[in-house]
Structure 1
Amino acid sequence: MTAAEPTGRVLVVDDDLTVSDVVRRYLERAGHQVALAATGEDALRWIAENEPDLVVLDLMLPGIDGLEVCGRLRERGAVPVVMLTALGEEENRIAGLQLGADDYVTKPFSPRELVLRVNSVLRRAKAPAPPSARRLADGDLRLDASARKATLGGAELSLTGREFDLLEFLMSHPGEAFTRTQLLERVWGWDFGDQSTVTVHVRRLREKIELVPAKPARICTVWGVGYRYDRSV
């Protein structure tokens, strides 16, 4: 790990003690402080008493499952979540993204890849805004890049880190069409990955900023290409 990489307090939630121990060792080697929880109940109790910078969350947990934990985390705020899912759990993965998870890694996974994903999410969450960060406005939709805050009609929007990054990028490039692959590269920083991640995040943004999400006026689908942001005024 380079000195430029962010570090933070990471909670790893997995009932497989072997997996959680391996993940812990790799994350600690990368400079992170790591806590472990084996159940959703334990995770929620720990989070109620602590402020993690990021949660690594297995979706298949005994008792309260990972999807419910993710949903409760989103009710509390925008703490970043990296999901762990089995290779065949596409529906659960999409459900997790719809609940606001920032990233995912499929099992079996490389611990090094997980560390890279954790670092990537933390880097964006902790990155200070550049001096030239602008305040973007489109009618009653306003975005302050330095404060990491977006409002619609004066009311603050509850956005995850990735949702904010995606909205900021699209608003900064009105009228330009981008493929899902381009958005993965420019917003997520991935040169590979599941394009449904972009689709799910676009859907969530539409639910929060569009008057009629099924007929979006701002984030428009460009058939055969991807998406384009159209200013409302």
Structure 2
Amino acid sequence: MLTRRTFLAAAPAGALAACARPAPEPAPLPELPPAPPPPPPMPARYGAVLDEPYPVPAVPAGVVPEELWRQEVDNPFPNEAPGTVIVDPDAGFLHLVQDNPSRAWRYGAGVGAAGFDWDGEAVVQYGREWPTWRVPQEMIERRPELEPYSVANGGMPPGPENPLGARALYLFKNGEDTLYRIHGACEPEYLGKAVSSGCIRLLDQDAIDIYDRVPHHAKVIVLPSLKPEGLGAVY
């Protein structure tokens, strides 16, 4: 039974409850951005190569942009003869003109960093499978720790640790070695970038492919870079 005493005792609590603000509703959680799509799988041509003297690991997905994958394209250099190699360091591309001069093979390439780059014309004097790396003297002067791999010491033997990778094409000009090479062993994360000590670096899978396509004494054109200086070489 509600007595006058209990009514009076409950009245202040009721008044307080009537004056209290309602509890604020919780703020909505911010919308999370949609998860990025998974990287496209690498084509089978970039899988592991196991029938070589040394194994070539597969190129991992999501590291190499699709535009740097080896592909057949319309030839952007139609005035060059079939078999000509054209390197565009700023685009990070190497083109090889096909027998049908309207078409070319395009490869992603790592090129020379500022201070180490080279441009002009040369020829492919010869090529080597799994070459020995004979470090030139000017590189040893910059990096004395490479002295054990000098020409006098016989160089670094072929294998997975050799910076020339699975194949190398040796560039000569006027009958003299330019000391520049088109070769494999480009780390995937550096493909298309200017980070090396001047050589033109491809993925090993692409170096193996182009080695079988480039004719003897093929003309090589390295276009001049128009990018600002300031990039450092990794070797």
TM tier, smaller? under 0.3
TM-score, normalised by the number of residues in structure 1: 0.24
TM-score, normalised by the number of residues in structure 2: 0.23
Structure (1 or 2) with the greater helix fraction: 1
Higher relative contact order (CA 8 A, sep 6+): 2
